Amino acid sequence: MDVREFKAEQMLTKDNVPVTIDAIPRYRIIEERVRNAVLNVENFNQMIQQVSQTTLRNNIGSSVFQDILSRREEVNQHIKSVIAGEAGNWGSKLLASRSGR
């Protein structure tokens, strides 16, 4: 299992409230699909980071601050499902993902 913690990043919500959020995805390479991780992606760790940050920014930027606070777990689950779908294409499995601050 690999754990990556991305530096905190400041983002704006839909209602222009600045928030600082960090992300911690945990994933592992699936042995049967390791070839996909090696051949389909030049820098696997960097791709996981980029997908995580882009998904987080898109989700936060399309939500108002109060919704983010009141639906924190739902927001985390949505972000996790998007990242898991992409990571699965590259031969890995997202085990957990947390965002917050």
Q: Helices (DSSP H) in 14-101: which residue ranges? A: 34-39, 44-61, 65-70, 72-89
Which sequence spans correspond to the domains of the chain?
2-100
Q: Which residue has the higher pLDDT, 55 or 18?
A: 18
101 token code pair: 């601050």
**pTM, two decimal places:** 0.71
Q: What is the mean pLDDT of residues 82-100?
A: 70
CA angle 22, 26, 30 (to 5 degrees): 150
Options 3.40.50.2300, 3.30.479.30, 3.40.630.30, 2.102.10.10; which CATH number does 2-100 get? 3.30.479.30
Place of tokens 């699936």: 30
Beta strands in the chain (DSSP E): 2-3, 6-12, 18-29, 92-100
pLDDT at 97: 58
pLDDT digits (tens, 9 = 90+) for 53-87: 888 889 899 999 999 889 888 878 887 888 888 87
Identify the band that residue 33 occupies on the pLDDT scale cut at 50, 70 and 90. Answer: low
Q: What percent of the chain has pLDDT over 70?
A: 71
Residue 79 gets which letter from DSSP?
H
